[in-house]
Amino acid sequence: MYQTSNILLESVRGTEIVPIDDIFLRERRIFLVGSVTDESCNDLIKKLLYLESTDNTRPVTVFLNSPGGSVWDGLSVYDTIRLMKSPVTAVVTGIAASMGSILLLACEKENRLMLPSSRIMIHDCSWSTRDFGGVKPGVIQEELDMLKKTNERLISIIADRTGHEPGEIAEITKSDAWFNAEEAVAFGLASAVIDEKSFETLIRKETL
């Protein structure tokens, strides 16, 4: 599980121990590190909604490093970002794979950034470790139909957000399709690779 770090701050009240995530939240910067789960997504949504309610005209930056995970939990974050008025920028710091790539695509194209060594992976969704022992054929068919509909939804998102045809995306995502930063920009998954100048702009402080 992701563990936050603490820093010491000097104030009129003396020295305070403050979680560094709280400092970043004040600067409208939040993080998703690790798998896409109900816990990580609920935490991310709460922070997004807090910042939206505070001031929906100022930008929010999400730093993303995730191998993917739960489709439905990830889509809840996707929908939240799409409904927000605050402009949201996502920065891939390591990988944005599987559902991690869908979270990246929630942002407008010009707001999808990547560190030089980061990567993106898109593919079909799957059951993961689903055990069908003792499950009736009708139930299995229902789940297959649901899986197909879910996969069509993800293909639709990727196609719409990258400008490619759904049929092309369906073919590409039959297997794990990995993109380095430059390839991701060329394909339409991201807008730019962060260089020294854009990095300085990115880390410039913004406070509530």
Does 21 reside within a domain?
yes
Give residue 12's pLDDT: 65
- 65 within a domain of the structure (yes/no): yes
**What's the chain's average pLDDT?**
90
> What are 39-74's pLDDT values in tens digits?
999 999 999 999 999 999 999 999 999 999 999 999
pLDDT in tens, 72-102: 999 999 999 999 999 999 999 999 999 999 9
- Domain assignment present for residue 207? The answer is no
Considering the entire predicted model, what is its pTM?
Answer: 0.87
The pLDDT value given to residue 8 = 63
Do residues 185 and 115 touch, judged by C-beta distance below 8 A? no
Q: What is the CATH number of the domain that holds 50?
A: 3.90.226.10
Q: Is residue 166 included in any domain, yes or no?
A: yes
pLDDT at residue 208, as a whole number: 45
Enzyme catalytic residues: 98, 123
In a domain, 157, yes or no: yes
Residue range 157-166: mean pLDDT, rounded: 97
The answer as to whether 208 is a domain residue is: no
> Which residue range(s) make up the domain with 176?
6-202
Helix (H) or strand (E) holding 140: helix 137-162
Q: Is residue 1 part of a domain?
A: no
Query: What is the CA angle 178-183-187, rounded to 5?
Result: 95
**With 80 as the cut, is the pLDDT of residue 3 above it?**
no
